[in-house]
């Protein structure tokens, strides 16, 4: 069965983090109520807004 999304994924970007980075990133995302992917999207948007 095909997946449907209102906002289809156009690109997939992956990156590796070390254990220390993961220990920081996961709780930050959880505290914000977002997945790690959505947390990173919000941070990228925030950076763009403050340029």
Which pLDDT value is given to residue 3? 66
Which residues does 32 contact at the CB level (< 8 Å), separation at least 6? 39, 42
Which pLDDT value is given to residue 8? 73
Which pLDDT value is given to residue 7? 73
CB 18 within 8 A of CB 25: no
pLDDT tens-digit readout, 9-47 = 778 889 999 999 999 999 999 999 999 999 999 999 999
Indicate if the pLDDT at residue 2 is higher than 70. Answer: no
d(CA 32, CA 37): 12
Which pLDDT value is given to residue 1? 56
Task: Write down the pTM of the prediction.
Answer: 0.71
């Amino acid at each position: 069965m095909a997946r449907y999304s209102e906002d289809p994924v156009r690109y997939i970007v992956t990156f590796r983090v070390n254990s220390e980075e993961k220990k920081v990133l996961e709780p930050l995302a959880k505290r914000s109520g977002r997945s790690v992917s959505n947390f990173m999207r919000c941070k990228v948007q925030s950076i763009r807004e403050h340029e």
